[in-house]
Structure 1
């Protein structure tokens, strides 16, 4: 199912695993696998315009039986990326590279009660058993999913509210939303400076578990840190600072801190913040949607151009 509304060209069709991907991973010779949230999924653009597909086109030119697999899915986080890899991709021999698209507004794990030991020993059977035994979703979740799959109006209102700082401030004061949990582009935690360090370190430990699973198979692994719109767009940042009193010195702190934490664990990481800042200054085209915090088609092109040069399939 696909519809166009305002800025977005939204394609909701998914494969049997729930991903926006048509590549037959079992017949491809070499596959670059991308895990991530809605930035990787390609919110608001056609699947073929999302950066995984653009990187995949480059790989196809090098080997006709290769491609990229977009395993991005909105707002689930690094634990789910690990579970997806173990459940669906760990036993696939064609996977030659694994990249994780990390947007810290969504992907920072704050629940430090999660057991790293359990994650390290996670098996496909355990994931399937938990899925089978999980309770049915609450009624509100069912309604939200129905609306998300069937209503352009819901999509538009949901994203406009989440990316409009003044609307967010008003609704927060009314007690209708929690800024930290509901704003995709403007999570307070992204700009808390050192107060956010423990969450970043814990998130990095979860990513290390995923890296170790991938590396055990001799497959290259890399993390790509994606900047939020207000980290790139001066006007968006000024509005954000006015509403939430964010400090200038913390604008890029979380991205830089995450990159350092990953490197300390010998994990290959690329922070795309400077790449997007440079592209924003040099080009006349916007890289993000006006009413939505995600990349538009041009933003995905910028990301793909950078990422394509870092992918090395074995």
Structure 2
């Protein structure tokens, strides 16, 4: 018995020491790669990684509390670099927390842009965004871009417009990314249209201003350990970049590609929450004397097989999806049915319009879409 206790004590000591080293090592790795709560820079032979820490933490726990003036508050007069493998850009916000060089009161905005990372300008400079290209092409408008990063979709824009009655632009432009604006981003949101209350319970804001997944998204025991263990955080970060990421989550896979049914046009979109929100937005904008146009944003797989943003089961069937009755064609039919104006940028885009690894438009893609949108709006006015 004494020998057993002696061995047990020895193994416990080894276990504790190993655990301490794992925690220290994991903390250093996370800090080095910009994923701890500290502002950090990752530098190696291939790239520099500077995370974007743009949001304002509102609660001690990091839980998001939406506000009527901004949905999720952004740091005002903020300035930083944002870099990854394929880009290194400047991000600055104005006195209202918008990524704009000019600050307009809502009542003075003539064209309002809404959207997620594409419209925000993921990976491009502010003047290279399609909203700015549009503004430069039609210089007689006060243009404001109200876009956000990380999981925003039409219900969020509807919430904002309903709460900002002084916003009465001639035109509202909504960037609609077909890859997740009708599915995973919607599932992360609780929106009560009648009460006009919106919650984002499955996302949190870190101390430095990054949006990350709430612990309750993860399976047990990860959902408990991730709050306290750097090693668990490192494991989650690593696995989350693989095909096994779905094993980490309980009931919802955040930022997931569309389901096979949705991607192949087999899902009924009549009651799709993203589409319903666009209908509601269309009504509100018309009541205020304006016009809504939806900019459809196709996934990169339509143009390239490089890192396609599509369900794993469909990655070997890209041409079949493209030629078939896909989600892009389905949403065009729905918008036509509801008489909602839209821009289909597919004819002006090509493989070189997207980053090679990243699923977003590069500078060229934004220029192509911005110019096409300017022609579209100008034609509507003639």
Structure 1 and Structure 2 fold alike (TM over 0.5) = yes
Alignment partner, residue 87 of structure 2: 8
Q: Which runs of 5+ in 2 are unaligned?
A: 1-78, 213-235
Alignment partner, residue 129 of structure 2: 50
Q: Against the structure 1 CA distance between its residues 47 and 244, is the aligned structure 2 distance closer, same or farther, given a 3 Å change threshold?
A: same
User: Is 2:342 the counterpart of 1:269?
Assistant: yes
Higher helix share: 1
Q: Against the structure 1 CA distance between its residues 254 and 238, is the aligned structure 2 distance closer, same or farther, given a 3 Å change threshold?
A: closer
Q: Which runs of 5+ in 1 are unaligned?
A: 150-157, 281-285
Q: Against the structure 1 CA distance between its residues 203 and 243, is the aligned structure 2 distance closer, same or farther, given a 3 Å change threshold?
A: closer
User: Is 2:206 the counterpart of 1:206?
Assistant: no
Contact 2:153 / 2:274 at 8 angstroms: preserved in 1? no
Q: Distance in 1 between matches of 2:112 and 2:237?
A: 27
Q: Against the structure 1 CA distance between its residues 179 and 143, is the aligned structure 2 distance closer, same or farther, given a 3 Å change threshold?
A: same
Tell me how far 1:106 sits from its aligned partner: 2.3
Contact 2:307 / 2:357 at 8 angstroms: preserved in 1? no
Q: Distance in 1 between matches of 2:99 and 2:154?
A: 19
Question: In the comparison of the two structures, how many residue pairs are matched?
Answer: 273
User: Is 2:379 the counterpart of 1:307?
Assistant: no
In structure 2, the residue corresponding to 1:69 is in which secondary structure? strand
Tell me how far 1:270 sits from its aligned partner: 2.1
User: Is 2:254 the counterpart of 1:176?
Assistant: no
Structure (1 or 2) with the larger CA radius of gyration: 2
Of residues 141, 157, 168, the one that matches 1:81 is 157
Runs of 4+ in 1 over 6 A off after TM superposition: 112-115, 158-162, 238-243
Residues 62-87 of structure 1: per-residue CA shift (max 9 Å, x gap): x2xx3321111122111101112223
Tell me which of the two structures has the higher relative contact order, counting C-alpha pairs closer than 8 angstroms and 6 or more residues apart: 1
Of residues 307, 327, 331, the one that matches 1:254 is 327
Alignment partner, residue 70 of structure 1: 145
User: Is 2:287 the counterpart of 1:216?
Assistant: yes
Contact 1:179 / 1:188 at 8 angstroms: preserved in 2? no
Alignment partner, residue 225 of structure 1: 296
User: Is 2:171 the counterpart of 1:97?
Assistant: yes
Of residues 354, 360, 363, the one that matches 1:288 is 354
Q: Distance in 1 between matches of 2:300 and 2:250?
A: 20
Alignment partner, residue 154 of structure 1: none
Alignment partner, residue 142 of structure 1: 205
Q: CA RMSD in A?
A: 3.9
